[in-house]
Amino acid sequence: MTYRRYLLWLTMWFIPYVAAAQEQPEPDAVVDTIYTDLDLFEVIAPMKITLTLNLKEYQRNKMKGEYMPAHFTYQINDTLRLEKEMRVKARGNFRRDYCHFAPFWLNINKADVRNRYLKETKKIKIVTHCGNSEFYQNLVLKEYLAYRIFNILSPVSFRVRLIDMTYVDTGRKGRVTHSWAFMIEPEEMVAERHQALVFKKDDLSMRLMEPEAFDLMALFMYMIGNPDYSVAGRHNVKILGLEGFGSVGYTPVPYDFDYSGLVNASYAIPGDDLGITSVRERYFLGLCRDDGAYLEAINTIHSHREEILDLIRSFPYLEPRERDDMVRYLEGFFRISAIPEALIYELNRTCR
């Protein structure tokens, strides 16, 4: 065999083996940090997270407000995962008391999570299933969608990221459970996105808010049937000062929508002073405005009607009957917002 024929023979036999080797997936690799430029809240697909902790102890001590250790695993893709030692603490005044499994803070302060979007963040809110039934799983998904609706209406809003969560309970011999959860964008990230300041003052009135931003928030809350908020005391509202806020007012950013008629949690009961018997009844808590100001907010929301309804209809993780119920509830608002005079009449009945 000549040298040239030998090379040809070797090439014909060797190249397929090299190609086959290159097609093999890399083994599962553990990384020590989230990609520097990865914005967790820009992605819509659910995160796959595993928390390994003593859930029995967490549930027993949820009212103490103390952190406990948890091993955090984030499956970034098929071959890459992040593992960290973190801490969790139950949060929420009502839900800590009522829920079998309360929502929690995920404290990343000492986990060395080197990511430019999280550099000022010490802890992240995680919303969890309140109870073990399918009903509570649906509540998580519906509250997540409520956040996504406000994202459509305003960029000055809390972004959310859905989580396909696995819990490994070291207090029950490593018992594994799965549920839906979602994380809420830290207020530091919202402020940084808008070059804003976070104000933690409980003596600000509604009249100090930037009018257009406040009216949009108040009408959104009316649309989803949520009377459980207040600027004074910052109840379910964060206050930001955007550039130039001193001359135009503060910007309110709402959160916690589990008491809304759109979510329709079994524990959601309207305040006695509102004169309604169900959160499914809409009640407007905004300021009294002239028709022009009302119309601006009405037109803004109504112009996003199809985008909002399509968000619900196309959401794959919620049961069809739950999606249909959300769509029907929202369509009740859009029917009247299509006749602004009728909606303005309703708003004026309870405005402040």
Shared domain check, 134 and 216:
no
46 within a domain of the structure (yes/no): yes
Asked if residue 24 belongs to a domain, the reply is no
**Residue 219 lies inside a defined structural domain of this protein:** yes
Whether residue 147 sits in one domain with residue 233: no
Give pLDDT tens digits for 57-90.
998 888 888 999 999 999 888 888 888 899 999 9
Average pLDDT over every residue of 243-266: 90
Domain with 276, as residue range(s), is: 194-350
Structure confidence at residue 110 (pLDDT): 67
Average pLDDT of every residue of the chain? 87
At a CB cut-off of 8 Å and minimum separation 6, what does 320 contact?
none
pLDDT of residue 23: 39
Q: Residue 342 domain-assigned?
A: yes
- Among the three residues 135, 154, 187, which one is the final residue of a domain in this structure? 187
Is 157 found in the same domain as 296? no
Q: Which of 21-25, 267-271, 308-312 has the lowest mean pLDDT?
A: 21-25
Do residue 138 and residue 178 come from a single domain?
Answer: yes
User: Cβ atoms within 10 A of the Cβ of 50, count?
Assistant: 19
Q: Is the pTM of this model over 0.75?
A: yes
Q: Does 12 fall in a domain?
A: no
Among 129, 127, 124, CA closest to 108:
124
Same domain, 90 and 207: no
**Domain end point (choices 187, 213, 247):** 187
Residues 319, 251 share a domain: yes
231-245 tens-digit pLDDT: 988 999 999 999 877
- Classify residue 266: in a domain, yes or no: yes
Q: How many domains does the chain have?
A: 2
Using DSSP, state whether 182 is helix, strand or coil: strand
The rounded distance, in Å, linking the Cα atoms of 87 and 124 is 11
User: Same domain for 36 and 140?
Assistant: yes
Q: Which of 157, 187, 217 is the last residue of a domain?
A: 187
Cβ neighbours, 10 Å, residue 240: 20
Q: Are 240 and 198 part of one and the same domain?
A: yes
Domain assignment of residue 295, yes or no: yes
Do residues 65 and 94 both lie within one domain?
yes
Both 125 and 235 in one domain: the answer is no
Q: Are residues 157 and 277 in the same domain?
A: no
Same domain, 46 and 158: yes
124-165 pLDDT, tens digit each: 999 999 888 888 999 999 999 999 999 999 999 999 999 999
Which residue from 134, 289, 112 is spatially nearest to 218, judged by alpha carbons?
289
CA torsion, points 52, 55, 58, 62, in degrees to nearest 10? 120
CA–CA–CA angle 294, 333, 351 (5° rounding): 40
Residues making up the chain, counted from first to last: 352
Residue 17 within a domain: no
